[in-house]
Amino acid sequence: MENTYPDGDNYVCPDCSHEWPITASDPESPNDEGAIRDANGNPLADGDAVILIKDLKVKGSSIVLKKGTKVKSIRLGNGTDGHEVDCRMDAGSFMLKAEFLKKA
């Protein structure tokens, strides 16, 4: 029904008082553990454009990725060491953490 609302770990129907658990496969579920999310909590997908929210120094080089740089056509992966986003920029190809990105 259209009056249902989430309450803790369950959905509740105010019309009939029926309650049922929120599942991870539910698109309205706030507990979607599998999704890679940006710094604002928005889910990311392959092909999205993102913006860096912080200057990032590239390890082992003098390159600095500047705050506000827009990156187009990202690719999501399982990532090693928490680096979930694969992207290509003018400075090269990088694996970045989603916590330093926001969806454009």
Most trustworthy range by pLDDT among 28-32, 79-83, 87-91: 87-91
Tokens encoding 39 = 């710094």
Residue 49: DSSP 8-state? -
Task: Kindly list the structural domains of the chain, giving each domain's residue range(s) and its CATH number in brackets, ordered by start.
Answer: 35-103 (2.30.30.40)
Instruction: Indicate whether 88 pLDDT > 70.
Output: yes
The model's confidence at residue 33, banded by pLDDT at 50, 70 and 90, is: low
> Is residue 25 over pLDDT 50?
no
Q: SS3 for 98?
A: helix
pLDDT per residue as tens digits for the range 67-81: 999 999 999 987 666
Task: State pLDDT tens for residues 48-70.
Answer: 999 999 999 998 899 999 999 99
Q: Write out the two tokens for 40.
A: 């604002």
What pairs with residue 57 in β-bridges?
Answer: 64
